[in-house]
Amino acid sequence: MKIFHFIALLLVIILAACTSNDENTENATANVNQILDDWHEAAAAADFDRYFNQFASDSAIFMGTDATERWTVPEFKAYAKPHFDKGNAWNFTPVQRNVYISETGQTAWFDEVLGTPNLGPARGTGVLTRQDTTWKIAHYNLSIPIPNAIADTVVQQVEQALNDSTSTK
């Protein structure tokens, strides 16, 4: 009888842990979505401090659409500050987002489709880490998805632009 009670108690503990993990994943996903939405809203509102406070540390990375745009947070701040000061940073509206949480609940990664007034359809991908009870952006990559049907033409244009920039130096 004692073994039966022990097994029953063990099953209850396992079931509670599984339920708790599901709830934690749902909460973590909601929190990551909230952080990313607030981050995009801060840029649209040109709220410099709110925007940059979402990054995990100064060594976090923002990768822009241009091949030269790989910035640590201090480098990205230097680039972005004039835009924020003018009150017209950028306006990225999430259209669709997929969020994934690690088994440990300490890391999240995502991909999102963005509507933008200046880039057209864009894509953001990134990684967040949990710091105490808050999620912070450790890496973000902004890209412009290129349909395969026009990729050859775009590749030629990119190569020409790179050749032009190298020949003018």
| Structure confidence at residue 6 (pLDDT) | 57
Query: Where does the chain have alpha helices with state H?
Result: 2-44, 48-52, 73-85, 151-167
Band of residue 21 on the pLDDT scale cut at 50, 70, 90? very low
Q: What is the CA radius of gyration of the chain?
A: 21
What pTM was estimated for this model as a whole?
0.82
| Structure confidence at residue 94 (pLDDT) | 97
> Which fold is adopted by the domain 2-164?
Nuclear Transport Factor 2; Chain: A, (3.10.450)
Q: Where are the domains of the chain?
A: 2-164
The mean predicted confidence, pLDDT, of the chain is 89
| Structure confidence at residue 56 (pLDDT) | 98
Band of residue 8 on the pLDDT scale cut at 50, 70, 90? low
Closest CA to 113 of 87, 90, 85, 142: 142
Show the tokens assigned to 8. Answer: 């029953």
pLDDT digits (tens, 9 = 90+) for 76-101: 999 999 999 999 899 999 999 999 99
Mean pLDDT within 59-66? 97
pLDDT digits (tens, 9 = 90+) for 128-160: 999 998 999 999 999 999 999 999 999 998 888
Residue for token pair 């130096």? 169
CA distance 126 to 130: 14
| Structure confidence at residue 7 (pLDDT) | 63
